[in-house]
Amino acid sequence: MSQSIHGMWSSRLIFIFAASGSAIGLGNIWRFPYIAGENGGGFFVLVYLACILLIGVPIMASEILLGRAGRKSPINTMQDLTQASGVTASWQAIGWVGAIAGFTILSYYGVVAGWVLFYLLEMSTGGLVNANAQSTQEIFTTLTANPWALVGWQTLFMVMATYIAALGVVKGLQTAVKYMMPALYILLVMLVVWAATESGHFQESLTFLFSFRVEAFSVDALLAAMGHAFFTLSIGMGAIMAYGAYLPKGVSIIGASVTIAMLDTIVALLSALIIFPIVFANGLEGTEGPSLMFLTLPIAFANMPGGQFFGTLFFLLVSFAAITSAISLLEPVTAWLVERLRTTRAVSAMIVGFMAWLLGLGSAFSFNIMSDVHFFPGMTFFNLVDFASDKILLPVGGVLIALFTGWALRQTIIEEELGFAGYTINIWQALIRYIAPVAVGIVFVMKLQTLFTG
């Protein structure tokens, strides 16, 4: 099949914007800066880059390869490729695992992204002026304790993402990333320049992030580098495979994968150079997770010249990152419904968006009216869907993609899609057959072990 029935990216650049938009999300902004700074700075960054090249890029290239070879939704792509390769139909589970993972992530991602929209409004209208530790805690607590406020912001975000997806690959997805991704990069550069010239702590942040502190690196740090190299690229959730189905034939899959991985890393590093000068300038704690974005940074923006303006730019940046990730999560199931039901793109997107919104209500209510409902000790509905997708479905999907592409996919399909053979393809196959699946498997086992051992 020369092209997908859903449409095609107009160029290599648009595909890179789309795939990097899928990869660049909230985790780049609040997680990577923390783990890099706490685990050896520059030494961690070097190890992380090695993990990206040895784990992330090979699996991402495999997922793009599968998508372009099949030219359909991940579910139907895997059905066609297993038949074409003459292997057991059990491999078709890869498409289902990815689609379910992406759909599940989207359900709670919409809730957290709704918080970002709320903070964008609060910051832009002056609601966070003169904020302090007590007031930001009260604002966040009030927001999460109000189920209808959470549902309202979740609904707004999901409507925005669904509308873009409903317009189709060219008019919707391509148009969104064509403007949002350059805007995201421009906002990043503006904020980095501001942090470098106005914070007074830029050099301290550079030292914290890039000085070689080998003594701070450990086995746990290595696992963190391996895990983040895999999870940051949106691998295993069907989105990259779906986007690969719309990739023009002449584009180098390996080259595009490396570019996407580098852009993802650059955004994470630039985010750190924005966040840590602000944190250090205000004597605040650069803690991991949502508290950094929703509790710590608003205090910092409230107490520096031009803080309201640049705080608004920051939350606009995060909003763009969230929306480009969300539309990619909608895509695998939306495309499958179009193929399965022979219905319009708009109807399929609305069905998927509504179902993800409905499932997301459980996550929204986990912070208020369902906060006492635990499915396992200490695990709310929000924690459950996060655990099921992040700790189980994604790594399982990633390992299966690597094993299928490395061992089961017909060799002629690989050579045709990658465009090379011989010594070069042997290196790639060694990575995808042995290194990548073993590394992801180790991270998977260690995450499960940490969960059950506390």
Q: Where are the domains of the chain?
A: 12-453
Q: Report which of residues 323 and 391 the model is more confident about.
A: 323
Q: State the pLDDT at residue 291.
A: 67
Give the bridge partners for 212, in sequence order.
41
Q: Report which of residues 276 and 16 the model is more confident about.
A: 16
Indicate the pLDDT class of residue 453, thresholds 50, 70 and 90. low
Per-residue pLDDT for 433 more than 90? Answer: yes
Backbone angles phi, psi at 212, to 5 degrees: -85, 95
Give mean pLDDT, residues 432-440. 95
Give the bridge partners for 376, in sequence order.
379
Q: What percent of the chain has pLDDT over 70?
A: 96
Close Cβ partners of 318 (under 8 Å, ≥ 6 residues apart): 26, 29, 116, 120, 293
Question: DSSP code of 91?
Answer: G
Give mean pLDDT, residues 121-127. 93
pLDDT digits (tens, 9 = 90+) for 384-408: 999 899 889 999 999 999 999 999 9
Rg, C-alpha atoms of the chain: 21
Average pLDDT of the chain to the nearest whole number: 90
Close Cβ partners of 106 (under 8 Å, ≥ 6 residues apart): 326, 329, 330, 356, 360
CA angle 324, 191, 229 (to 5 degrees): 50
Q: State the pLDDT at residue 450.
A: 65
> What is the Cα–Cα distance from 116 to 316, expressed in whole angstroms?
8
The DSSP H or E segment spanning 327 is helix 307-341
Number of H helices, E strands in the chain: 23, 0
pTM above 0.85, yes or no: yes
Highest mean pLDDT among 256-260, 265-269, 280-284: 256-260
> What is the Cα–Cα distance from 363 to 109, expressed in whole angstroms?
9
Give mean pLDDT, residues 119-126. 94
Per-residue pLDDT for 328 more than 60? Answer: yes
pLDDT digits (tens, 9 = 90+) for 411-432: 999 999 998 766 778 889 999 9
Q: State the pLDDT at residue 285.
A: 61
Q: Which two tokens stand for residue 371?
A: 């906060």
pLDDT digits (tens, 9 = 90+) for 60-90: 999 999 999 999 999 999 999 999 999 999 9
> What is the Cα–Cα distance from 82 to 351, expressed in whole angstroms?
28
Cβ proximity of 211 and 41 under 8 Å? yes
Give the bridge partners for 41, in sequence order.
212
Indicate the pLDDT class of residue 258, thresholds 50, 70 and 90. very high
Cβ proximity of 298 and 131 under 8 Å? yes
Q: What percent of the chain has pLDDT over 90?
A: 63
Q: Which of 68-72, 285-289, 348-352, 429-433 is least confident?
A: 285-289
In angstroms, how far is CA 39 from the centroid of its own chain? 21
CATH of domain 12-453: 1.10.4160
Close Cβ partners of 436 (under 8 Å, ≥ 6 residues apart): 54, 55, 58, 59, 398, 402
Cβ proximity of 410 and 86 under 8 Å? yes
Question: DSSP code of 414?
Answer: H
> What is the Cα–Cα distance from 255 to 252, expressed in whole angstroms?
5
Q: State the pLDDT at residue 211.
A: 83
Cα distances (Å, whole numbers) of residue 330 to 105, 158, 209, 242, 327: 10, 10, 34, 10, 5
Handedness of CA 320, 277, 27, 19 (dihedral sign): positive
Backbone angles phi, psi at 29, to 5 degrees: -85, -35
Per-residue pLDDT for 143 more than 90? Answer: yes
Close Cβ partners of 45 (under 8 Å, ≥ 6 residues apart): 36, 209, 210, 269
Close Cβ partners of 247 (under 8 Å, ≥ 6 residues apart): 8, 9, 15, 64, 67, 68, 253, 256
Per-residue pLDDT for 126 more than 70? Answer: yes
Q: State the pLDDT at residue 289.
A: 58
Per-residue pLDDT for 295 more than 70? Answer: yes
Per-residue pLDDT for 286 more than 60? Answer: no
Q: State the pLDDT at residue 284.
A: 65
> What is the Cα–Cα distance from 19 to 237, expressed in whole angstroms?
12
